[in-house]
Amino acid sequence: MPCIEIENLTHTYFPGTPLETTALRDISLLVDRGETLALAGATGSGKSTLVRHLNGLLAPTSGRVRVLDGDLADKNFRRRLWRRVGLVFQFPERQIFSGMVYEDIAFGPRNTGLAGPALRDRVSWAAEAAGLPEELLYADPAELSGGMRRRAAIAGVLAMRPEILILDEPGAGLEPAARENILRRIIELQAEQGTTVILITHHLADAALYADRLALLEKGRLTAVGPVAEILSRPDLLDTAGLEPPFTVELTRRLAAAGITLPETPLVPIEAAKLIASLLVPGVAS
């Protein structure tokens, strides 16, 4: 059941001026309700431009885009779409403006009209969902660590309970443990709420771990979309898109080139270890 239908989407910035740039060319893509789609591509490939249509910030220059139950051609629909489609920008902690974490998280839901006890509950819930300890709600964001500020910013978007959640490199600049923590929580939330998640990432290993499908963008064009394992096993596609395959995929490829074929393509190191062990020691379950 698609909740996003993109048909021949093209977006041009500054049309008709010397600065004219076509950021997206003829993109067609369907996103199902409740799925996790990873979106990957080199810098400038159009990932940000694409997702900014999905919450109504941008309108297509040509093509048709339906999000949830409305068409992006409708200006009023676009103006209200932020309530249902949450977009977490890269380095979201940069947009924190309040002197108290609680107030910043409450900003979004307040704008949707929530108030009083319902608002308080929502803020508490969002903080917990993002992994932010309760007592930090009353702290000054400036005194928090980078990781906690990141969680606070994400909580600010989660607090609006969007039906579609788009995250632009949520782990950027964080140490691996923190990244894993945030991503895991998002997936947990998704399982609970049925949220559709779109994850923009350079780290294809994240796509492997957390996403159902992977879409590749290259210079504004969609070059591939399909199940993650399938796309990752195509090093040629990844290469032209300017991306590096995850370690395990590359390992499998090189082993194959050396004559050692693993029974399946592992997506995470532990899987790879088990598969290799099963080949080395016959009888060991993989």
With contact defined as beta carbons under 8 Å apart, do 102 and 123 qualify? yes
**CA gap 109, 132 in Å, rounded:** 17
Cβ neighbours of residue 109 closer than 8 Å, sequence gap 6 or more: 119, 122, 123, 126, 159, 160
Q: How far is the CB of 34 from another protein (least distance, A)?
A: 22
Q: How far is the CB of 107 from another protein (least distance, A)?
A: 6
Q: How far is the CB of 49 from another protein (least distance, A)?
A: 11
SS3 call for 20: coil
With tokens 């596609």, the residue in question is: 237
Binding site for another protein (CB under 8 A): 14, 16-19, 52, 55, 57, 82-83, 86-87, 89, 92, 94-98, 107-108, 111-112, 156-157, 160
**CA gap 216, 201 in Å, rounded:** 10
With contact defined as beta carbons under 8 Å apart, do 200 and 186 qualify? no
Residue with smaller CB distance to another protein, 16 or 116: 16
Residue with smaller CB distance to another protein, 144 or 272: 144
Residue with smaller CB distance to another protein, 195 or 252: 195
What sign does the dihedral 24-28-33-35 (CA atoms) show?
Answer: negative
Q: How far is the CB of 139 from another protein (least distance, A)?
A: 16
**CA gap 129, 186 in Å, rounded:** 8
Q: How far is the CB of 228 from another protein (least distance, A)?
A: 27
Pairing of strands 164-168, 196-200: parallel
With contact defined as beta carbons under 8 Å apart, do 155 and 162 qualify? no
Q: How far is the CB of 10 from another protein (least distance, A)?
A: 20
Residue with smaller CB distance to another protein, 97 or 257: 97
Residue with smaller CB distance to another protein, 173 or 227: 173
Residue with smaller CB distance to another protein, 95 or 261: 95
